[in-house]
Structure 1
């Protein structure tokens, strides 16, 4: 594989990883709407219950805690991770440099150094994508686990009305 082909491969790899990061971020809005809607509806229903039993508290906790954890997990998906290796292609590192310094750095970069930069950025962004999808999985699972207890709280609330 030639140097140009390796550079192209690394650039495409970084691009695919960045698309994966965007896909994780895009899924947050729907899960956030569902989680907050369920919590809000649960709060409204709970306001109608006049006498709480241990049974009610148990199912309230079994639904509210996973929903709150789901919201925390969604925050962690969106939390910006700006640390990483020194780079001439990463926006945060570029913005922290003086323009003349950046121009000098870019003007003197070799293909080998650029490939190294792409490889380091691909690796760092793969770590970020992995973390985002791990938190997204936790948000999905906690939302799933909250569903049955949430339905029971809703039924208890409607029975109290």
Structure 2
């Protein structure tokens, strides 16, 4: 039998869900907010002499990059087709109700071939800075990256959600 991990410090453990698809804890408690489809966490600012020349990691400065009100890292929401996103993964213009074509193909591949996810990734060799930056984008339309579900907290009032967040800050 597996035990759930303790909630100590959960307020600082963003992003949330098993796949990291929800950037803020408020999005866990209220499915209608803070569950963007495509998003990118804010990067650390480059030094003035490095601007545009280097790839910066995520901003970890709590004062600048963390939202203590909604409990999670600041992020930038992106739209379908925006630079750095993939058009047929972001939104499939051919069929809005069915899963996107790449997801259907990956599901078929992973269903038929055991451990296909563990194949070597040749696309990682010789990546440009722009390609590395694009990897910071979280797209919930990609295979197994969805942030839907977990809607049992939708019945809570805003005051109850706020009380839960304040309680979790004490852990």
Q: Same fold (TM over 0.5)?
A: no
Q: Give the number of the structure whose residues are more often strand, by fraction.
A: 2
Higher share of residues assigned helix = 1
Return the TM-score normalized by structure 1.
0.22
Task: Please say which structure displays the higher CA radius of gyration.
Answer: 1
Q: Larger RCO: Structure 1 or Structure 2 (Cα < 8 Å, ≥ 6 residues apart)?
A: 1
Q: TM-score, normalised by structure 2?
A: 0.21
